[in-house]
A and B are shown apart, each in its own frame.
Chain A
Amino acid sequence: MTASTKPTAPGATDVVLEAVGLTKHFPVRRRPRDLLTRTRRAVRAVDDVGLVLRRGQVTAMVGESGSGKSTVARLLAQLVRQTSGRISLHGDEVRTRGGRAFRAYCRRVQLVFQDPFASLNPVHTVRYHLTRALRIHHRDRDVTAALHDLLTRVQLTPPEQFLAKYPHELSGGQRQRVAIARALAAGPEALLADEPVSMLDVSIRLGVLNLLRDLRDRLDLAILYITHDIASARYFADDVLVMYAGQVVEGGDGEAVTQRAAHPYTRLLIASAPDPDRIAGEADEDTAESGGEPPSLIDPPAGCRFHPRCPHAMARCRTEAPPRLSVDGNGSGHWAACWLYDAPTVAEAAT
Chain B
Amino acid sequence: MTREPVLSIRNLSVDYGLGDAAVRAVRDVSLTLHRGEVLGLAGESGSGKSTLAYGMLRLLPPPGVIRGGQVTYHPRDGEPIELLSLSRKRLRRFRWAEVAIVFQGAMNSLNPVHTVATQLTDVIAAHEPRTTAAARRARAVELLKLVGINADRLGSYPHQLSGGMRQRVMIAMALALEPRVVVMDEPTTALDVVMQRQILATLVELRERIGFSVLFITHDLSLLVEFSDRIAIMYGGRIVESAPAAELYRSSLHPYSDGLLHSFPALRGPRRELSGIPGSPPDLRAMPAGCAFHPRCPKAFDPCADRAPELAEPAGREDAGRSVACWLHTAERVTP
What residues of chain A have their CB less than 8 Å away from a CB belonging to chain B? Answer: 64-65, 171-174, 201-207, 210, 228-232, 234-236, 255, 258-259, 268-281, 283, 287, 291, 293
Contact = CB atoms under 8 A, between A and B. Distances in A.
7 contacts: A64-B194, A172-B280, A201-B219, A202-B44, A203-B44, A274-B193, A276-B222
B225 to A, nearest CB: 4
Contact of B204 (A230, A231, A281, A287): A281
Report, as a range, how many residues of chain B touch the other chain. 35 or more
Contacts of A279: 226
Nearest to A283: B201
A203 B277 contact: yes
Contacts of B281: 171, 201, 203-204
Given A203-B281, A234-B271, A274 B192 contact: no
Contact of B260 (A203, A232, A277, A283): A203
A271 B271 CA distance: 18
B169 to A, nearest CB: 15
B196 A272 contact: yes
Interface in B190-240: 192-198, 201, 204-205, 219-223, 225-227
Interface in B12-59: 44-45
A296 to B, nearest CB: 10
Interface string B224-266: 0111000000000000000000000100000000011001111
B267 A234 contact: yes
A244 to B, nearest CB: 11
A231 B264 contact: yes
A204 B194 contact: no
B86 interface: no
- Interface centre among B44, B205, B268, B278, by most chain A C-beta atoms within 10 angstroms, is B268
A132 to B, nearest CB: 25
Contact of A171 (B197, B260, B266, B280): B280
B280 A235 contact: no
Contacts of B271: 234-235, 255
B267 A258 contact: yes
A231 B263 CA distance: 11
B309 interface: no
A276 B249 contact: yes
Contacts of B45: 172, 201
Contacts of B222: 274-276
A64 B263 contact: no
Contact of A235 (B220, B223, B225, B265): B265
Residue among B44, B195, B249, B265 with the highest chain A CB neighbour number at 10 A: B265
A236 B267 CA distance: 12
Contacts of B278: 207
Contacts of B259: 203
B97 to A, nearest CB: 28
Contacts of A201: 44-45, 219, 280-281
B112 interface: no
Contacts of B267: 230-231, 234, 258, 270, 273, 275
Nearest to B220: A274
